[in-house]
């Protein structure tokens, strides 16, 4: 092969690659809106829930094990939220927050805040807490937000039967959640 034909071959290859790179790739189909459960019996939801898995997030970056949430009913339909977890050095972190339902008394959409009460008038201190999956016995739940940025799998017990967990994963995956992003929470 001569130098001239070698350059010609490279020119054809590079031109073809450049043209291929300019062909627009179709945008992924938009996901449907997040679906929540039909109704939430808030008093029945109260108590302790263990985190089984979650999407990694910045506010739990120090948590390495035994993450749980305790919900306690308050006046005027509000819920006290106490989240706790164990860190790498064995210490416990607690975060005390407040949740409120959005809509009627059976709404599965709540908003939660962990900022001080004097900041509660600011919309950005409230985050979505949407119950998107819940078994009939109130033993296994999935919680997310409207944008699918966060996802938690919660259980009344520190461990879940694999068949129940896998069935829940199938249901939330059908809603467009990337279950590969979930990281399991050690319960030591």
CA angle 48, 153, 28 (to 5 degrees): 155
b/e string for 23-62 if b means 16 or more Cβ within 10 A? Answer: eeeeeeeeeeebebbeebebeebeebbbbbbbbeeeebee
Which superfamily does CATH assign the domain made up of 42-184 to?
Calycin beta-barrel core domain (2.40.128.20)
pTM, rounded to two decimals: 0.82
Q: What is the pLDDT of residue 18?
A: 52
Report yes or no: 112 and 102 within 8 Å, Cβ to Cβ: no
Q: What is the block-wise mean pLDDT of the chain (188 residues), using blocks of 10 residues? A: 47 46 66 94 97 95 95 92 95 95 95 74 77 98 96 97 97 96 90
Count CA atoms closer than 13 A to 182's CA, side-chain side.
25
What does the domain layout of the chain look like in residue ranges?
42-184
């Amino acid at each position: 092969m001569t130098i001239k034909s070698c350059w010609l071959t490279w020119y054809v290859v590079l031109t073809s690659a450049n043209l291929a790179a300019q062909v627009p790739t179709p945008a992924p189909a938009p996901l449907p809106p997040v679906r929540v459960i039909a109704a939430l019996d808030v008093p029945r939801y109260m108590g302790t829930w263990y985190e089984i898995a979650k999407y990694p997030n910045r506010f739990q970056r120090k948590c390495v094990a035994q993450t749980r949430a305790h919900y306690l009913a308050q006046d005027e339909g509000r819920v006290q939220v106490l989240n706790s977890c164990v860190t790498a050095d064995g210490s416990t972190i607690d975060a005390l927050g407040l949740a409120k339902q959005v809509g009627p008394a059976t709404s599965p959409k709540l908003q939660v805040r962990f900022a001080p009460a004097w900041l509660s008038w600011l919309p950005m201190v409230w985050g979505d807490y949407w119950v998107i999956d819940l078994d009939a016995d109130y033993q296994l739940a999935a919680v997310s937000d409207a944008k699918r940025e966060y996802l938690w799998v919660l259980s009344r017990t520190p461990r879940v039967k694999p068949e129940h967990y896998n069935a829940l994963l199938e249901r939330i995956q059908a809603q467009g959640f990337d279950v590969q992003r979930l990281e399991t929470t050690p319960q030591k």
